[in-house]
Amino acid sequence: MSKKLKKIGVMTSGGDSPGMNAAIRAVVRTCAYYHVDCVGYYRGFQGMIAGDSTPLTARSVRNTINQGGTILQSARSKEFMTKEGRAKAAANLKKEGVDAMILIGGDGTFTGGQVFSKEHNFPVIGVPGTIDNDIFGTHYTIGYDTALNTVIEAIDKIRDTASSHNRLFFVEVMGRDAGFIALNTGIGAGAEEILIPEEDLGLDRLLDSLERSRRAGKTSSIVVVSEGDKIGKNVFELAEYVKENLPFYDARVTVLGHIQRGGRPSCFDRVLASRLSVKAVELLLDGKRDLMVGMMNNEIESCSLDQALKGKHNINKDLLRISEILST
């Protein structure tokens, strides 16, 4: 392994996701294992610009693997989108003696990192951390699995009331422009319908399907709606529309909101975060740079940040078929 690297920096950026602390911990401990210094920057690019950092040792990250959120905090930085902002960050890293940065976050984080790397010839490695799972180059992002469980536990609770009261519930879940969360939790929670941005079923088909359910004897139903759904109505308008057209149903709306970002990470996310982050450090020590680590087919791989940013992680269309069969 290359001996040139003496100090690696790490930060978290964008929306927080469960498992980010497990990722930070693994970066720190892998550095310790290879006798490389490690420094954490607070609030993502913002802390790099402000020079707001802290040395991290194996002990700094004790008892963090099971904590939600991120001990390094996160933020979105407008200043980093400017040449001046990035120059300040580069100067701070140089002053601190940091040789490379590990960036834990999503699309926006990697875009910033890529520009920065080229502009200042500074090695970076991206670690995909977001609940949305919308990153090309990895089958799973850190936090996604935990969010799935948070959502189905919430829908299981809503199902209790739906069944008890013969109600139709529209449950809005996160996912930005991607339907991963909606599609998988819809199947997992046994939803009668799933609305995702990747597939516009149309309002008529929704009404047809609910009408068919009712005739088949179903008195309560759950419809999972992705926040990025393109059906042209928000979830409240959707519920109103259905109420008007299918007065049989007592329709209600629940927007799950920010509970989906927090909570103790699942085992899957802790192990994923650990494996990805060990790899990220080892790639840097091997002289590699400007890559994103990912889990493809259960193995830890890497691709260029370019590929990660240009590619699109598509949902598995077969899941739509599964969903239709199972809501029979």
Q: Select from 88, 214, 230, 275 the one that contacts its own copies (CB under 8 A).
A: 275
| Count of Cβ atoms closer than 10 Å to residue 187 Cβ | 18
Q: Please give the size of the binding site for its own copies, defined by CB under 8 A.
A: 83
Q: Select from 119, 156, 237, 306 the one that contacts its own copies (CB under 8 A).
A: 156
What is the distance between the alpha carbons of residues 74 and 56, in angstroms, rounded to a whole number?
A: 17
Structure tokens at 183: 């599609």
Burial class (CB in 10 A: 0-12, 13-18, 19+), 299: exposed
| Count of Cβ atoms closer than 10 Å to residue 308 Cβ | 24
Scanning 30-38, 87-95, 98-106, 120-128 for contacts with its own copies by CB under 8 A, the matching segment is 30-38
Residues 200-259 binding its own copies (CB under 8 A) are 216-217, 252-259
Scanning 120-128, 203-211, 263-271, 286-294 for contacts with its own copies by CB under 8 A, the matching segment is 263-271
Asked if 266 interacts with its own copies (CB under 8 A), we say yes
Task: Pick between residue 114 and residue 176 the one whose CB is nearest to its own copies.
Answer: 176
**Active site (annotated) includes residue 132:** yes
Task: Pick between residue 80 and residue 122 the one whose CB is nearest to its own copies.
Answer: 80
What is the distance between the alpha carbons of residues 324 and 328, in angstroms, rounded to a whole number?
A: 7
Scanning 73-81, 100-108, 111-119, 200-208 for contacts with its own copies by CB under 8 A, the matching segment is 73-81
Q: Select from 3, 59, 95, 312 the one that contacts its own copies (CB under 8 A).
A: 59
Do you know the residue count of the chain? 328
Residues 159-178 binding its own copies (CB under 8 A) are 159-161, 163-166, 169
CB-based contacts of 210, cutoff 8 Å, min separation 6: 168, 192, 193, 221, 223, 242, 246, 249
Minimal distance in Å, beta carbon 29 to its own copies? 5
The residues pairing with 128 across neighbouring beta strands, listed in sequence order, are: 105
What is the distance between the alpha carbons of residues 272 and 28, in angstroms, rounded to a whole number?
A: 16
Asked if 54 interacts with its own copies (CB under 8 A), we say no
Task: Pick between residue 2 and residue 328 the one whose CB is nearest to its own copies.
Answer: 328
CA atoms within 13 A on the CB side of 268: 13
Catalytic residue among 16, 107, 132, 229: 132
Decide: 40 and 53 in contact? Cβ < 8 Å: yes
Q: What are phi and psi of 225, to 5 degrees?
A: -120, 125
Q: Select from 81, 115, 309, 319 the one that contacts its own copies (CB under 8 A).
A: 319
Minimal distance in Å, beta carbon 286 to its own copies? 15
Site string for its own copies, 187-206 (x = CB under 8 A): xxxx----------------
Residue with tokens 């889990």: 295
Give the active site residues: 132
